[in-house]
Amino acid sequence: MNDRLLDFSIKYGFLILLFGLIIFFSLTTNGFASARSAAFVLQSVALTGILALGVTCTLVVDGFDLSIGAVATSALMLSAYSMVILEHSALVAVLLCLSMGALVGLINGLLIVRFRVPDLLATLGMMFLLIGLQRIPTQGNSIATGMSLGNGVVAEGTFSKAFLWIGRHRFDLVIERLLPMPVVIFLLIAVFIWLFLGFTRHGRMMYAIGSNERAAGLVGVQVNNYKIAAYMISGVTASIGGILLAARLGRGDIASGNNLLLDSVAAALIGFAVLGAARPNAFGTAIGALFVGILLQGMTMMNAPYYTQDFVKGAVLVSALVFTFYLSSRRTGAGR
Contact 174, 35 (CB under 8 A): yes
User: What is the separation, in whole angstroms, between the first and last Cα of the chain?
Assistant: 16
DSSP 179-199: EEHHHHHHHHHHHHHHHHHHH
Contact residues for 234 (Cβ-Cβ < 8 A; gap 6+): 54, 55, 57, 58, 65, 68, 105, 108
In the complex with other proteins, the residue whose CB is nearer, 90 or 255, is: 255
Beta bridge mates, 148: 154
Candidate segments 7-15, 189-197, 219-227, 296-304, binder of other proteins by CB under 8 A: 296-304
Residues 185-244 that bind other proteins (CB under 8 A): none
Give the three-class secondary structure for 132: helix
Count of residues touching other proteins (by CB under 8 A): 53
Candidate segments 32-40, 59-67, 208-216, 224-232, binder of other proteins by CB under 8 A: 32-40
Q: Which of 20, 132, 198, 305 touches other proteins (CB under 8 A)? A: 305
- Does 259 contact other proteins by CB under 8 A? yes
Quote the least distance from Cβ 269 to other proteins, whole Å. Answer: 18
Q: Which of 9, 26, 99, 145 touches other proteins (CB under 8 A)? A: 145
Q: Which of 55, 59, 76, 233 touches other proteins (CB under 8 A)? A: 76
Quote the least distance from Cβ 37 to other proteins, whole Å. Answer: 6
Q: Which of 37, 58, 79, 285 touches other proteins (CB under 8 A)? A: 37
- Does 300 contact other proteins by CB under 8 A? yes
Show the beta-strand stretches assigned E in the chain. 170-173, 175-180
- Does 308 contact other proteins by CB under 8 A? no
In the complex with other proteins, the residue whose CB is nearer, 144 or 312, is: 144
Give the three-class secondary structure for 252: strand
Crossing angle for the helix pair 35-60 and 223-249, nearest 10 degrees?
150
Q: How far is it, in rounded angstroms, from Cα 187 to Cα 286?
A: 9
Residues 78-137 that bind other proteins (CB under 8 A): none
Contact 143, 251 (CB under 8 A): yes
Q: How many CA atoms lie within 13 A of 221 on its CB side?
A: 22
Q: Which of 140, 200, 330, 334 touches other proteins (CB under 8 A)? A: 140
Q: Which of 9, 26, 29, 99 touches other proteins (CB under 8 A)? A: 29
> Nearest Cα to 237, choosing from 54, 57, 75?
54
Positions that interact with other proteins (CB under 8 A):
29-32, 34, 36-37, 40, 43-44, 47, 73, 76, 139-148, 151-154, 168, 177, 180, 245, 248-251, 253-260, 296-298, 300-303, 305-306, 309
